[in-house]
Structure 1
Amino acid sequence: MPYTLTASVQHELLIKKSRFIACVQPMLDRASAQAVVAALRAEHPQAAHVCWALLAGGQSAAVDDGEPSGTAGRPMLDVLRHQDLEGVLATVVRYFGGIKLGAGGLVRAYTDSVAQALLQAEKLAIIRKSTLRCTAPYAQEGMIRRELDAACATLLEVSHGDAVMFAFSLAETAAPALVARLNEAGHGRVTWLRDDEA
């Protein structure tokens, strides 16, 4: 199950005189992430690098910002993936301390910075929702409402015409079982609508 973060968390590491200031935070898209990175650059004008990784579906990114290719952004992204996160931005501001760390040292430094920040972060499970629509005879309205309550479904709309039309959402994983229960309890009189029929 994928997770996101409830709030941003910062953590600082000092490695061979270089400062690594890591931040992990919830983030939905690349444009928002780029705005955060631009603000960090303005806040830390003396920093050598502002590296970042975003895990957000098709908008994911990994940026080394002048560090040797593959030593910062990609390792940071790998930490986010390994922890099954989604919709999360990791940034690391580096102040160079004068001692080169080498490629392996850089990978470890950026990986550890993000991992340490994530240890303090509160994670929240992402529950994917399905929206379903159905119609049923008036006599079945009470039964359907009880089944929706029992399945913890959120009732979005009810309209009364020739039949009662329900629109509701619930966890994707719970949808098939609810559809099966309603079909059985409704004795085949519950009709499921596609989005273009609603």
Structure 2
Amino acid sequence: MFKLLAPISFEETIKKSLFICHAAPVTTADEALAFFQQHHQPDATHNCWAFKLENSYRFNDDGEPGGTAGRPILQAIEGHELVNTAVLVIRYFGGIKLGTGGLVRAYGGTAAKCLHQAEKEKIIPSTQVVCTAEFSDMAMIKARLLQDGITLIAEDFNDTGVAWTLSIPKERVSDLEQLYINLTRGKGTWII
């Protein structure tokens, strides 16, 4: 899976109709709907859109024949393996009817071209882990645990040592847990 790093726009003319695409990273349905409202063109013939979050999606054909605009936009998002993405395609009708197949190609193609040009970043699934260490082991353990891809979220000190909250890529959790057990000689806690 990937996410957009920044908003992007793209436009093209297909058989005299102007198609303008705006895409942006979003984290909630409300944020996506606000993005569509912000870029909505009331004088346009159609403002069709789709968004995909990690666990949900929606699309809207805005008066185009059912399945010819919103779903192709969603398919463009999915084709680029994107999540947390909102895409709006605005059409100014140019006088030539495209037919249902032409509409699918125009909306989906415009969205796909826009997303192809966008800066993206791979999403690495991660797990949050809380682990503890005594003061005497703290520096050595921290140096070994905070490797590439591991993020220190919180560091809380107490009477005997420290508790760290870490974000760790899922595929590395079991290996790092074993390393942690060895480094603390079994005295530290590791809670997923």
> Structure 2 length normalisation: TM-score?
0.89
Tell whether 2:76 aligns with 1:79: yes
Identity, in percent, stands at 37
String of CA shifts for 1:105-128, please: whole Å, max 9, x gaps: 100001110111122211122233
Displacement of 1:66? 0.8
After superposition, give the CA deviation of every residue in 1:15-71 in whole Å (9 maximum; x if it has no partner): 111111111211222212222222333xx2221110001011234211111111111
Gaps of 5+ in 1: none
Amino acid at match of 1:37: F
Q: Distance in 2 between matches of 1:152 and 1:96?
A: 48
The residue identity in structure 2 corresponding to 1:7 is A
For structure 2, the residue ranges without an aligned partner over 5 or more in a row are none
Q: For the Cα contact (< 8 Å) 1:151–1:174, is it kept in 2?
A: no
Q: What is the CA–CA distance in structure 1 between the aligned matches of 2:48 and 2:77, rounded to whole Å? A: 14
CA distance in 2, matches of 1:58, 1:167: 25
The two structures have a TM-score, normalised by structure 1, of 0.86
Q: AA paired with 2:54?
A: G
What CA deviation, in whole Å up to 9, does each residue of 1:171-192 have, x standing for no partner?
3332222111111232322222
CA 1:175/1:26 → structure 2, altered by over 3 Å: closer, same or farther?
same
Give the structure with the higher percent helix.
Answer: 1
| TM-superposed deviation, 1:169 | 2.4
SS at match of 1:104: helix
Q: Secondary structure at the match of 1:144?
A: helix
Rounded to whole Å, the distance in 1 between the matches of 2:162 and 2:141 is 10
Q: How does 1:12-161 map to 2 (within 5 A)?
A: 12-41=11-40, 44-150=41-147, 152-155=149-152, 156-161=154-159
Q: What do you get for the CA RMSD once the two structures are aligned?
A: 1.9
